[in-house]
């Protein structure tokens, strides 16, 4: 009888809200899995931090528990966000738990089915915006500025305070050591900034000697951060019409670009792009060699790592943690499209044997 799985509130001394008043669904404390087979293939020591195991299936819950607790402390009655899907799913669930009204803006036709189902089912007021995420966020931010609601996008610093615990937990999972590198997908750029904050806090506290190289991966069709990194500048130029199958990171003007680039430069990290084909191949590779099912955006981290290894940008034997940010079931359509149809057959053992033997 070892201790039960814990949650992120084990770090309550480092969180800027009153833990006794928390709005929580027992988030954090996610699985940390060594990927022996895939690591061997890549010539590195590979781990994944499985954020799809959070209550609503993505890392957003870590930010939302702190953000929603803050919202309650402030006494607001309505919360809102723009989202590519996961933030809205998480916000809807936490708002339900807190008993607050909730409005979400989603880019029409570009949100994966599981996420849309969550936002609707938890009772959020869902607006399908004729435009992309960046436009939806602009509109939502304006509503917040005019004090119609409390904004819970990652521009809200309390969201990042929750998400920084991914950095804490990775160091904790490794027995108070830093990995050589943390690789993760970058969309609105909140998460890479938050994890870097967690890492630097633990480093400054003397919990470990080194810090990891923060390595952000973007989809080729939505890569303003990777472009800025390539040009060795802090000035991000927005991408006008972002496009990728990884709808979670289909973002052209990330709000936390400056923080993200600072994390990358200060940690001697890097940013890289991957194609949709590379993302889908990596999603299947992780699912079939390691049994870890993640949504396409999350697989960008694996795809990017593979590319960096092939380019010689990652050293042999490096200890690398990929943050896989959302669950496979978030986007069932993309998963099914990537597979062959099931074999339909009568419950006739002879017929089934014949099929099995002929494979």
92 lines the binding site for ligand F0G (CB under 6 A): no
Nearer Cβ to ligand F0G, position 7 or 56?
56
Instruction: Establish if 198 lies at the interface with ligand F0G (CB under 6 A).
Output: no
Between CA 319 and CA 21 the distance in angstroms is 38
Min CB(79)–ligand F0G separation in Å: 14
Q: Which residues 6+ apart lie within 8 Å of 258 measured at CB?
A: 234, 236
Phi, psi of 147 (to 5 degrees): 65, 30
Does 188 count as an annotated binding residue?
yes
Q: How far is the CB of 280 from ligand F0G (least distance, A)?
A: 15
Question: Is there a contact between 35 and 65 (Cβ–Cβ < 8 Å)?
Answer: no
Q: Is 191 annotated as a binding residue?
A: yes
User: How many degrees, rounded to 5, is the angle at CA 208 between CA 206 and CA 209?
Assistant: 95
Nearer to ligand F0G, 29 or 114 (CB): 114
Selected binder of ligand F0G within 30, 56, 178, 188 (CB under 6 A): 188
Out of 24, 30, 53, 58, the only residue in the binding site for ligand F0G (CB under 6 A) is: 58
The beta-strand segments (E) located in 6-157 are: 32-34, 45-50, 78-82, 101-107, 125-129, 150-151
| 190 annotated to bind ligand | yes
Name which of 94 and 208 has its Cβ closer to ligand F0G.
94
Under the criterion CB under 6 A, does residue 83 sit at the interface with ligand F0G? yes
**32, 306 in Cβ contact below 8 A?**
no
* Out of 53, 87, 118, 244, the residue judged to bind ligand F0G by CB under 6 A: 87
Q: Does residue 325 have a known ligand-binding role?
A: yes
Question: Counting contacts by CB under 6 A, is residue 186 touching ligand F0G?
Answer: yes
Contact segment (CB under 6 A) with ligand F0G among 39-47, 66-74, 184-192, 199-207 equals 184-192
Q: Is the dihedral of CA 96, 97, 102, 104 positive or negative?
A: negative
Both structure tokens of 229: 């990194």
Helix axes 86-98, 60-74, angle to 10 degrees: 40
Please spell the DSSP secondary structure of 73-110, one letter per residue.
HHT-SEEEEE-SSHHHHHHHHHHHHHT-EEEEEEETT-
Residue closer to ligand F0G, measured from CB, 86 or 334: 86
Closest distance of CB 269 from ligand F0G, Å: 14
Binding-site positions for pyridoxal 5'-phosphate: 86, 187-191, 325
Query: Using CB under 6 A as the criterion, which residues of the chain lie in contact with ligand F0G when the complex forms?
Result: 58, 60, 83-87, 154, 185-191, 248-249, 295, 297-298, 325-326
């Amino acid at each position: 009888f070892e201790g039960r799985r814990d949650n992120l509130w084990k770090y309550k001394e480092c969180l800027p809200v009153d833990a006794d008043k928390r709005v929580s669904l027992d988030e954090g404390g996610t699985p940390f899995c060594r990927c022996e087979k895939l690591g061997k293939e890549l010539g590195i020591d590979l781990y994944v931090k499985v954020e799809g195991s959070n209550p609503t299936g993505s890392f957003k819950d870590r930010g939302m528990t702190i953000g929603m607790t803050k919202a309650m402390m402030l006494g607001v009655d309505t919360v809102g966000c723009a989202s590519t899907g996961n933030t809205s799913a998480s916000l809807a669930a936490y708002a339900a738990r807190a008993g607050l009204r909730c409005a979400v803006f989603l880019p029409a036709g570009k949100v994966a089915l599981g996420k849309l189902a969550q936002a609707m089912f938890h009772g959020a007021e869902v607006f399908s915006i004729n435009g992309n995420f960046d436009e939806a966020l602009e509109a939502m931010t304006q509503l917040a500025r005019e004090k119609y609601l409390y904004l819970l996008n990652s521009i809200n610093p309390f969201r990042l305070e929750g998400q920084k615990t991914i950095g804490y937990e990775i160091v904790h999972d490794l027995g108070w050591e830093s990995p050589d590198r943390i690789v993760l997908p970058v969309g609105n750029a909140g998460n890479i900034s938050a994890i870097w904050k967690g890492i630097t806090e633990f480093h400054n506290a003397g919990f470990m000697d080194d810090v990891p190289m923060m390595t952000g991966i973007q989809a080729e069709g939505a890569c303003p951060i990777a472009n800025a990194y390539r040009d060795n500048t802090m000035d991000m130029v927005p991408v006008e019409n972002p496009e990728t199958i990884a709808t979670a990171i289909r973002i052209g003007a990330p709000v936390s670009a400056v923080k993200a680039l600072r994390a990358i430069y200060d940690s001697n990290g890097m940013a890289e792009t991957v194609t949709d084909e590379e993302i889908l191949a990596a999603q299947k590779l992780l699912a079939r060699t390691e049994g870890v099912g993640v949504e396409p955006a999350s697989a960008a981290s694996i795809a990017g790592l593979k590319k960096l290894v092939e380019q010689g940008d990652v050293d042999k034997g490096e200890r690398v943690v990929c943050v896989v940010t959302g669950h496979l079931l978030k986007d069932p359509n993309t998963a099914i499209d990537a597979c062959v149809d099931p074999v339909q057959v009568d419950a006739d053992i002879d017929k089934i044997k014949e099929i099995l033997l002929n494979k």
